[in-house]
Each structure stands twice: as C-alpha cells, then as structure tokens.
C-alpha cells in the first residue's frame, strides 16, 4: 500500500517549537491509535518562521525524535508561508506568490531543510501555491508568466543540485486550487508546457493533486488522472481531502459553512446554460443567490473529514476519493489534509482532533485494502 500520512497544518503554530510540540502532542497520539508497529510517515507543515529557526541543533533533535518514535519525514507542506490559524487567512494564503523572490527563497530553504531532516529519504515532495491568486494575476501579461516560470525553474535547479549532493530527490509540487492561476487540469497541463523544463529538471517539478480542489471543479477523477499520466506530469503527492457538495434545496445550507478564516471558493452548475459559475468565497455565492441566480448543484472548497459521506445538511465529494485512490500508483504518497477541523460547525466535531485524524487514516486504509 502507498505511504499514508496526514498534514500537520491542521495544528496551529508558525515556529519550530510548535512543529515539535505538535509531533509530541498529536502525531504520537495518532500513531498510537493506528495500533501499528510500522514506521510512521510525517507530513510536516513548516512555515517560513519555523524554517528560519530550524538550526543544526533543531535538526539533530528532530532526527533523534524520529529514531526514538519510529517515524520519518515523508513530505512537507510549503504552501502557507505565514500564519494559518486563528485569524483571517483568506486570499493571503497565496502570498508571497511565484512572482516574488520570497517564495523562491522559502522553497529553496525548505529543500535544504528536507535533505537534512531526512537524509536517508529517496524522495520528498514539497507542496506549494499554484503560482498566484487568479484575481491578482494578469494572465494576459507575458512578463508575469515569464517571472513565475523563471522562479519555478530556479527552485527546480536548486533541488537538482541538492540531489546531486545528497541523493535525496525533491519534487516541487504545485497545488491547483479553485480561483488560482492553476485551477483546472487544463490549466495545469498548459503551465507545464509553458514552463519548458530541461530534461534533467522535469521530475523535480510536479503537482500536488488535492482531491477536494479537483472535485470542486467538477472534474472526473479518472479522466484528469489519466490526462496527467499521458502528459507525463509527475504527481509529487495526493492530498486526500473532501469538499462540500449540495443539490436542489440543500444548496442554501452551504451558507452555514461561511466563516471568517479561510477562503471557501464555490463552483456552481447552472442548468439553463449548462455552464459552471465560479465564486471567490461563500459570501459571493450568497450574493448571487440573493440576486435570483439558480443552480442545480454547487461544490465548495471546505475540507471536511473524509469519512463523512453526508453531513445531514448537505453532501460531500467523498465519491471522488472512492474513485481516485484505487487508481493511483502505489508509489504515490498520500496525505490526508483536513486543516479546517476547527472551522467546521461544532456538531460535526464529534471526536478530538487526533481521534478524527486517526479515523480518516483508517478510512483510507480500509478503502485501499
């Protein structure tokens, strides 16, 4: 079975001390609930501040901790640069984007850190933003594309040099997301053609395939996976996540999930035109409904625990996971990512965070077995 972990971005904390605290207080509890003697893979969210604080002593302590607890680093989430919990994040989560040197430096730093944290690894994926937030990016301006592509190539070259020096293969994994420059499978494929990587760098840049995001886009799981395979675009990892889905009278219930921290992009199908309408956040979708627009189905970017098929108020895109996961190559790392646990309505938080994570991991194991 594929290597399976969860993303620690569900736990608050921007400092290296927070990373270690979350391992001690949550990761070990999850590992214990899985009741397995096998080595436990880790999916670490490492913010910019934590990456700066991870000096030689911190790295040595992490490696000793892993040795003591039979754990190892599988993947890094390098998407959120700064604060990710307990205050407004929304579209700021994409900053700095791939037009900036800050995003380049951060991604290089994570690569340097990865090969030190897990020097015996054969391959580590590092997920990152899908170029930029679409409303803030001029897609008609060629110079913006040139800057973004040059910056991605620079990080790929850095990862290639690290591989030559250490033998640890790093994959910068761009994560398509609704309302971003890379949103659909078509846009992802188009970007890789524009990127024009030399042969030696091609496997160092791939995609982080987030199931919630592609389900929100109304994409077919089998079809989009096959297209990426046909285009030979590497999948650095798959984030196992589930979105909100509603039809008919359930659609207005989606507005109950509007909250002030995260961006909840909505994609809705209009039965009259047959077109998909995209909304930056649930508040925009609410305005459309109030203005009389009608849709027969809507999906919302809100990471719901993956073991939930229906929430009582509306459904989920769990069926996307049921289709996709058995089709994946067994070497593709899997990372459950339900970071919005604290933001979901309280009646859906029936377990502790650690218990809910363990239940999600067990759900995946049961599906794949």
Q: What pLDDT shows up at residue 23?
A: 98
Beta-carbon contacts of 6 under 8 Å, excluding residues fewer than 6 positions away, are: 30, 43, 335, 336, 337, 338, 357, 360, 361
What is the per-residue pLDDT across 21-59, written as a single tens digit (0 to 9) for each? 999 999 999 999 999 899 999 999 999 999 999 999 999
Is 114 within 8 Å of 60 (Cβ atoms)?
A: no
Say what the pLDDT of residue 346 is. 81
Report strand pairing: 40-45 vs 205-210: unpaired
Q: What is the DSSP code (8-state) at residue 39?
A: P
Q: How confident is the model at residue 347 (pLDDT cuts 50, 70, 90)?
A: confident
Q: Is the pLDDT of residue 340 over 90?
A: no
DSSP structure string for 155-167:
HHHHHHHHHHHHS
Check if the beta carbon of residue 41 is closer than 8 Å to that of residue 10.
Answer: no
Q: Is the pLDDT of residue 152 over 90?
A: yes
Contacts of 369 (CB under 8 A, 6+ apart): 1
**What are the start-end ranges of the H helices in 167-254?**
185-195, 211-216, 221-230
pLDDT at residue 345 tops 90? no
Confidence (pLDDT) at 231: 97
**Which of 61-75, 258-272, 317-331, 334-348 is predicted least confidently?**
334-348
What span, in angstroms and rounded, lies between the C-alpha atoms of 360 and 82?
26
At the topology level, CATH places domain 4-243+318-368 in TIM Barrel (3.20.20)
Assign 198 to helix, strand or coil: coil
Q: Which pLDDT tens digit goes with each residue over 195-246?
A: 999 999 999 999 999 999 999 999 999 999 999 999 999 999 999 999 999 9
Q: What tens digit of pLDDT does each residue of 244-297 get? A: 999 999 999 999 999 999 999 999 999 999 999 999 999 999 999 999 999 999
pLDDT at position 1 is 80
pLDDT at 351: 85
Specify the pLDDT at position 51: 98
Under DSSP, the state recorded for 42 is: E
Computed over every residue of the chain, the mean pLDDT equals 97
Share of the chain above pLDDT 70, in %: 100
Residue with tokens 């027969």: 296
């Amino acid at each position: 079975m594929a290597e399976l972990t969860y993303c620690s971005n569900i736990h608050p904390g921007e400092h290296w001390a927070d990373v270690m605290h979350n391992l001690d207080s949550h990761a070990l509890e999850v590992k214990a609930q899985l009741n397995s003697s096998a080595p436990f893979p880790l999916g670490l969210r490492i913010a910019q501040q934590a990456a700066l604080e991870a000096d030689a002593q911190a790295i040595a302590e992490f490696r000793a901790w892993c040795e003591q607890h039979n754990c190892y680093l599988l993947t890094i989430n390098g998407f959120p640069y700064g604060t990710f919990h307990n205050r407004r994040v929304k579209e700021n989560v994409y900053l700095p984007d791939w037009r900036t040197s800050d995003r380049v430096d951060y991604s290089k730093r994570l690569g340097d850190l990865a090969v030190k944290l897990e020097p015996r690894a054969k391959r580590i994926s590092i997920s990152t933003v899908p170029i930029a937030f679409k409303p803030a990016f001029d897609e008609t301006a060629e110079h913006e594309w040139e800057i973004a592509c040059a910056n991605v190539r620079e990080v790929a070259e850095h990862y290639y040099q690290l591989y030559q020096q250490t033998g640890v293969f790093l994959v910068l994994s761009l994560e398509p997301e609704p309302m971003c420059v890379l949103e659909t499978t078509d846009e992802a494929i188009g970007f890789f053609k524009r990127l024009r990587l030399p042969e030696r760098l091609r496997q160092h840049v791939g995609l982080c395939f987030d199931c919630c995001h592609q389900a929100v886009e109304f994409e077919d799981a089998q079809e989009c996976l096959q297209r990426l395979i046909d285009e030979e675009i590497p999948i650095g990892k798959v984030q196992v996540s589930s979105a909100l889905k509603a039809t008919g009278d359930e659609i207005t219930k989606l507005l109950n999930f509007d909250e002030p921290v995260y961006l909840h992009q909505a994609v809705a199908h209009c039965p009259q035109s047959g077109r998909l309408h995209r909304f930056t956040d649930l508040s925009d979708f609410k305005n459309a409904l109030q203005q009389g627009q009608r849709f027969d189905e809507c999906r919302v970017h809100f990471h719901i625990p993956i073991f939930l098929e229906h929430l009582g108020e509306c459904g989920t895109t769990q069926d996307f996971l049921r289709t996709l996961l058995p089709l994946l190559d067994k070497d593709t790392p899997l990372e459950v990512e339900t970071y919005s646990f604290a933001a979901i309505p309280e009646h859906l938080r029936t377990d502790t965070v650690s218990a809910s994570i363990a239940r999600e991991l067990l759900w995946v194991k049961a599906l794949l077995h």
